[in-house]
Amino acid sequence: MTRDASQFGRRIIVSTLTLGLSIFLGWYHYRGPAPLGADAPVGLPSAARMRATLVELLGDPPQKHTTGTAAGEAFLQRLEQKLDGYEVSTRRIEIVFDPDRQDRHPKGRIDLLPPDPVLKNLWVTIEGSDPSLAPILVATHHDSCRWGPGAGDAGSAVVALVEHIRVLAKTPPIHTTHYLFTDGEEFGLLGAYAIAAQDSLPFATPMFVLNFDARGSSGGIPMFETHSGNHAWVSVLIDDLARPKITSSLAVTVYRMLPNATDFNAWHGKLGLPGFNYAVIGGAHRYHQVDDTPANLSDRTLQHMGAHLFSMHRAVDRLPADVLQRVQQASTQPDADNAVFFDLYGLTVIHFSEGVQKVLALIAVVLIGTVCLRQRQGQLWRRLPRHLLNTLLAVLVGLAVGLAIRFALLTTPWNAVRYTPIDLPAGLFTIAASFLAATFLLEWLVSRSSAEEFKLVSDWIWLVTAALGSTLAFGLPGGGYLLVLPSLAYAMVRSVTANVNLAAWSGWLVAIVLAGPLLVLLVQALGPWRQPLYAVGASLLAVLAMTTWVTRIRKKARPIPKNRPRLARGDA
């Protein structure tokens, strides 16, 4: 028996190209929406109008506006003047910074504050048509870092709030809406924590908070963080994200592992408010830099920031009373469940509870495990350790590629910075190079395997994937779906057909639809120095792709014996 080499090679190429296509589609959609001009309808957010507001607030040339400085006061006055033009209620919440009264004040940063600083938070209120309802809170920070004017961080969010206030001032919402522009965020969330440390809030407890920030200057804006016990809120709101709907429960898990924080820490962590947190992460090489200027801020980013605020505020504001009551009751239960959620190329968002994910994970393990146990091929089973070694070798080769690329980056002028202008292309190049290196090695290692042996290996690879998915579903549920759903797809098809190739393609296609766009976010979120991590992930994807290479056995032509007598013409 021999493998059909032509089909074998074609399937390697197709499985590789499908991953590349998925990553490309993720990048394409995650750029953000097309920006609207100054002539856009007055009820819609416009990147052009927001850019004009940003230039007006920052000045020309753009100026830094740090907490406790004259420039910071001047920026705040310009912001107040802009808002006064919309005839809305604006008030300052000025709090003398007192480290003894608030429990979060990073010492390395507050030492850089001016003497006796006063945190100047700006509070704007637009009354709703039904004052008996709980209000909505929309928040960002208005101060910049000490090194740059902060057009992205968080000027992009400030002007999105201003644009929203402009519209709501003429078309009041149902729920009273409060806007907070906090001070001192760049020194450790000081303004937000100072407000949270007061004996009471200056307004009724909000039903929901929308917080906006930035860690970059380009690309679409993910909703990357929610509150704990979020399933009820996610189920009614998550699909109201503005397109592209960029989000993932894995992002929540990853973000909480990073040394980053936003004012959402105060709103949810201290006050226990439910809410969503948004931030741009592309173009992070301008984050906290002198070139974080309006000229370097993407119009797509501005448009997406405004679109998110308009869309989600509308969704929260218009929740029916019975739905709102049900959601609030469910989310305040001690055992409130969290949601698992992810977008499909920014077009829609899939969501389900962590409990459902656990059930799906166990189903996948049981179905694939049953298939494996039914097989009675003793000689082939003894070859599984060799294929395990093949997998380890593929991962090591991919890791070596990642380490080599990281070493090459360390020889560039960017070796001392946290983020670089080539974060995204360098990360995606690492993924591509590692995937191809692992693929070529696996092709060479398994080329002599029979199709029957290859089918057995495929089942066991997907069984291990399902087992790892179950482990994540119980231990790290935010990212469990990346393994659970592909394994379940393989299991469902494999349990009803002997066609391993069909099952493998089912699992592989689900895997790349989930992983492709997420890889685009991952390399932007983690930066350029995690090439080994990207390489290992790409190598493991190559192992899954290998299961699609299974092809049918082609029988060799049976040779004619040399001593076989030939039939005479006309003989029967």
Taking the CA atoms of residue 387, residue 393, residue 395 and residue 399 in that order, the dihedral angle to the nearest 10 degrees is: 180
pLDDT tens-digit readout, 353-391: 999 999 999 999 999 999 988 876 665 567 778 888 999
Query: Counting every residue, how long is the chain?
Result: 572
The Cβ-side half-sphere exposure at 568, using a 13 Å CA radius, reads 1
Domains of the chain: 2-28+355-554 (no CATH), 33-345 (3.40.630.10)
Q: What is the DSSP string of 220-282?
A: ---EEEE-SS-HHHHHHHGGGSPSS--BBHHHHHHHHHSS---THIIIIIIT---EEEEEE-B
Cα-to-chain-centroid distance, residue 210: 17
Find out whether 338 and 353 touch, Cβ atoms under 8 Å. Answer: yes
Q: One-letter amino acid identity for 386?
A: R
pTM: 0.93
- Three-state secondary-structure class, residue 381: helix
Pairing of strands 118-126, 2-3: unpaired
pLDDT at site 455: 85
> How far lies 346's CA from each of 87, 210, 518, 553, in Å?
36, 20, 11, 41
Q: Which two tokens stand for residue 11?
A: 């399937």
Q: Which residues contact 410 (CB under 8 A, 6 or more apart)?
A: none
Question: What's the rounded Cα separation, in Å, for the pair 209 and 136?
Answer: 6
* Sequence-separated (6 or more) residues with CB below 8 Å from residue 339: 226, 230, 231, 234, 235, 238, 249, 351, 352, 353, 354
Measure the CA–CA gap between 549 and 167, rounded to whole angstroms: 56
Contact 519, 430 (CB under 8 A): no
Helix, coil or strand: residue 377: coil
Spatial neighbors of 256 by CB under 8 A, at least 6 apart, are: 225
Describe the crossing of helices 451-475 and 354-374 by its angle, rounded to 10 degrees. Answer: 150
The Cβ-side half-sphere exposure at 205, using a 13 Å CA radius, reads 8
**Residue 53: both structure tokens together:** 């507001």
Phi, psi dihedrals of residue 214, rounded to the nearest 5°: -155, 145
Sign of CA dihedral 211, 216, 222, 225: negative
Q: How far apart are CA 15 and CA 550, in angstroms?
A: 12
Per-residue pLDDT of the chain (572 residues; tens, 9 = 90+): 344 556 667 878 898 999 999 999 999 999 999 999 999 999 999 999 999 999 999 999 999 999 999 999 999 999 999 999 999 999 999 999 888 777 666 666 777 888 889 999 999 999 999 999 999 999 999 999 999 999 999 999 999 999 999 999 999 999 999 999 999 999 999 999 999 999 889 999 999 999 999 999 999 999 999 999 999 999 999 999 999 999 999 998 888 777 778 999 999 999 999 999 999 999 999 999 999 999 999 999 999 999 999 999 999 999 999 999 999 999 999 899 999 999 999 999 999 999 999 999 999 999 999 998 887 666 556 777 888 899 999 999 999 999 999 999 999 999 999 999 999 999 999 999 999 999 999 988 887 777 778 888 899 999 999 999 999 999 999 999 999 999 999 999 999 998 999 999 999 999 999 999 999 999 999 988 999 999 999 999 999 999 998 654 444 445 555 555 554 544 44
